[in-house]
Chain A
Amino acid sequence: MSDNENWIKTYAVSDIDDEDVKEFQLPNGNKIAVYNINNTFYATDLFCTHEKVSLCEGFIDGDSIECPLHQGVFKISTGEVLESPPTEGLKTYITKIEENYIFVNVS
């Protein structure tokens, strides 16, 4: 895969409000969550690592996302578990902004 193909165009910057998160489906079928935290954009896997529930239904508090099911907390920028029940961190993706679009690197 060339480097260009690794960058997937997701939402326009204006599509996601500050302190909000949106679900996005990658070409390989995997689903991710794209976040706007203070106009910095992050991407992680969509599902909590504890059970298969979408983190887009969760609560964003600063740089962390609280899972809606059992309130496990992950750090959005690194994916690390801040509060159990999950024990496994979330996969994170590098992002960049080009022409007002959020690109996610899937390499």
Chain B
Amino acid sequence: MANKNFNIVITGVGGQGLITLLDVISKAAFNKGLDIKTSELHGLSQRGGSVGVYIRFGKKVYSPMVPKTQANLVLALEFQEALGGLEFANKNTVFVINNYQTPTLGESASLKQVEDNIKLATNKIFTMPFLSICEKELDNSVVVGVAMLGFAIEKQALPLTKEEIIEAIKETMPEKFWELNLKALELIKE
């Protein structure tokens, strides 16, 4: 593959905290002295519309956008939005999918349809009810992204350690949120 950078695509719907997640991951990569480029979207899509953000890190990153077929990791905070990550997938791409659905107006897809579609590209799919676990165990839904990140690290799906993420959480979030986020990071391992 031409590209040696690590490429993450995060998809979901506006209001799910994608940008906070982006900040934590890029800070962790930054602390390792890596070059980073990210791209995020603001505005109308933040009102519950489909959103996608990109994080790329490595020795030298040019474009802030992940080229098609070049994602190493796709985090989908809503399962239908996992399809938004599909064009970035190749046979080695890992998908971590939140088994949670918000209604689309018009056509929708079942989890099985989504997974079958993704399997055309890769078999490395991990689907869990991250949101309901967070709600049940932590009484909080905002940290679902961090829980998914912790899970992805357990699965060795990205070249960052939990220690590095914890450091980044402490640097990017106010102290009152640390405990909750650290719990979320360790919450789901299997």
A associates with B: no
